[in-house]
Amino acid sequence: MTLNDYIGTPYKTLDCFALVREVSEKIYGKRLPAIEDYAAAPSEAIEQQKGLASWVELEYPVPGCVVELGQSPTFSKHIGIYIGPSILHTCVRYGCILQDEYQLLSAGYTHIRFFKWEG
Query: Taking CA 40 as the corner, what is the angle to CA 34 and CA 41, rounded to the nearest 5 degrees?
Result: 80
CATH of the domain at 13: 3.90.1720.10
pLDDT digits (tens, 9 = 90+) for 75-99: 667 889 999 899 999 988 999 999 9
Q: Is-contact 20 90, C-beta < 8 A?
A: no
Residue 67 in this model has a pLDDT that exceeds 60? yes
Number of domains making up the chain: 1
**Per mean pLDDT, which range of 13-17, 36-40, 60-64, 76-80 is the poorest?**
36-40
Whether residue 73 is predicted with pLDDT greater than 90 in this model: the reply is no
Cα pseudo-dihedral 111, 112, 116, 119, rounded to 10: 40
Range of the domain at 48: 3-117
Mean pLDDT lowest among 42-46, 51-55, 69-73, 107-111: 42-46
- Answer whether residue 37 shows pLDDT above 50: no
Contact 95, 8 (CB under 8 A): yes
CB atoms within 10 A of CB 4: 8
